[in-house]
Amino acid sequence: MTILVTGGAGFIGSNFIAYERRVHPEDRILCVDALTYAGNMENLAPFMDDPLFRFVKADIADRQAIYALFEEEKPDIVVNFAAETHVDRSVHDPEVFLRTNMMGTQVLMDACRKYGIQRYHQVSTDEVYGDLPLDEPDLFFTEETPLHTSSPYSASKASADLMVLAYHRTFGLPVSITRCSNNYGPYQFPEKLIPLMISRALKDQTLPVYGTGENVRDWLFVDDHCSAIDLVMRKGRVGEVYNVGGHNERTNLEVVKTILRELNKPESLITFVTDRPGHDRRYAIDPAKIHGELGWLPETKFDDGIRATIRWYLDNVGWLERIIAGEYQDYYEKMYAGR
Q: List residues near ligand TYD by CB under 6 A.
A: 87, 182, 192-193, 196, 208-210, 215, 217, 252, 276
Cα–Cα dist 214/335, whole Å: 43
Q: Is 161 a catalytic residue?
A: no
Give the span between the Cα atoms of 87 and 214, in whole angstroms: 18
Q: How far is the CB of 119 from ligand TYD (least distance, A)?
A: 26
> Does residue number 82 form part of the binding site for ligand NAD (CB under 6 A)?
yes
Question: What values do phi and psi take at 132, rounded to 5?
Answer: -110, 155
The strand pairing partners of 285, in sequence order, are: 141
Q: How far is the CB of 272 from ligand TYD (least distance, A)?
A: 9
Considering CB distances under 5 to 8 angstroms, the limit depending on partner class, which of ligand NAD, ligand TYD, none binds residue 208? ligand TYD
Q: Which stretch binds ligand NAD (CB under 6 A): 19-27, 35-43, 246-254, 305-313?
A: 35-43
Considering only the stretches 47-55, 78-86, 138-146, 230-238, report the one whose residues sit in contact with ligand NAD under the rule CB under 6 A: 78-86
Q: Is residue 240 annotated as a catalytic residue, yes or no?
A: no
Region of residue 10 (left: phi > 0; alpha: psi -120 to 50; beta: else): beta
φ, ψ dihedrals at 33, nearest 5°: -150, 140
43: number of CA atoms within 13 Å, CB side? 27
Dist CA 59 CA 67 (whole Å): 11
Which residue, 35 or 207, has its beta carbon nearer to ligand NAD? 35
Binder of ligand NAD out of 4, 5, 9, 259 (CB under 6 A): 9
- Residue 53's binding partner among ligand NAD, ligand TYD, none (Cβ under 5 to 8 angstroms by kind) is none
| Site membership for ligand NAD, residue 255 (CB under 6 A) | no
Q: Is 127 a catalytic residue?
A: yes
Measure the CA–CA gap between 228 and 244, rounded to whole angstroms.
Answer: 7
Active site residue: 59, 127, 224, 249, which one? 127
The answer to whether residue 189 forms part of the interface with ligand NAD (CB under 6 A) is yes
182 contributes a contact to ligand NAD by CB under 6 A: yes
Considering only 104, 152, 236, 298, the residue that binds ligand NAD (CB under 6 A) is 104
CB atoms within 10 A of CB 96: 15
β-pairing verdict for 249-251 and 216-218? antiparallel
Q: Which of ligand TYD, ligand NAD, none lies near 252, with the C-beta cut-off 5 to 8 A by kind? A: ligand TYD
104 binds, among ligand TYD, ligand NAD, none (CB under 5 to 8 A by kind): ligand NAD
User: Which segments within the chain are labelled E, that is strand?
Assistant: 2-6, 28-33, 53-57, 77-80, 119-125, 175-180, 183-184, 207-210, 216-218, 220-221, 240-244, 249-251, 270-273
- 149 interface partner picked from ligand TYD, ligand NAD, none, CB below 5 to 8 A per type: none
**102 near ligand NAD (CB under 6 A):** no
What residues numbered 41-60 form the site for ligand NAD, per CB under 6 A? 59-60
Read off φ and ψ for residue 17, nearest 5 degrees: -60, -45
At what angle are helices 302-315 and 252-262 packed, to 10 degrees? Answer: 50
The catalytic residues are 126-127, 153
